Structure 1
């Protein structure tokens, strides 16, 4: 944490540096791990996790494994989903692909999956689109709705303090060895042996 109470996080895989106040992180603002969105574009998100969402997550994590059936897990997942909100979505596309989509009149909202969306800028051959989405309040209680609104408004400050850094995309190539290990069969059990 910096002297001014901010947490600075570099996400090299997305070419972005975030500056987020510890005060807002304590309110439930969380920078999610980078991923690909529903449209297959590289993204990173900030979420507001309400106290209700955090409590539901803690409950299901600490639940006796015998009681954590698929139905119970699904119920808690839905509770968490309904009591957390996406407050910032950033999508990055290769600039050539971005231009092709814009030329074909694909809306930025369609690319991010959220509205409103706007171009954030370009970095290292990529164009970035940002959304601070207009979402409903889900199942947030009165106090959580107020906190959610504060956190969402704070995203303007996060946006203003965003900076680009060199992109270091994650390596997703599968490395296949030159040869298969040898196996010996003994009593119907496969056991690898050293090569």
Structure 2
């Protein structure tokens, strides 16, 4: 059973669901709902899995963080994995709190990518390209770089170094990004999202 409702609606939905449960695995994808709270709303039911997918799942290219209560055995975890692997890959977490970190990186991450994509398109337009050309350049650059990284054994740092010639254009561009504090901004974004995920868990969990 996949519980796919808004976080604010989980407690109400649980009232109806609780009377129907026997041995089913319940997978919740409601952001911020902790399993102990869900178990309480389900009258102590413990065969629960919490999942944090991301929007690329819509095209089968997502990644989903998973965490299960001890009531879920190996077979149950495998069944949960098979459900989420239909829309991408999965990553099991040892602690439920790790799902807040998954939320901050892969859950919110597509928005960070779109934000940088938006910025690259804006930069292209600023250099004289039209909207269609700017979008084509930015999308092809992103998709090509990601495919290269996926097919390479090298770390991103080394791949970046291969593009960055001494005294060249890329070196100057990277220096501008470093001066603007881009890495620090990305880290701050992840930390802010991580903190908010914890806040939402506290908020929804307090609604007994």
TM-score (norm 1): 0.26
Specify which structure has the higher proportion of helix. Answer: 2
Q: Which has the higher contact order (CA 8 A, sep 6+)?
A: 1
TM-score (norm 2): 0.25
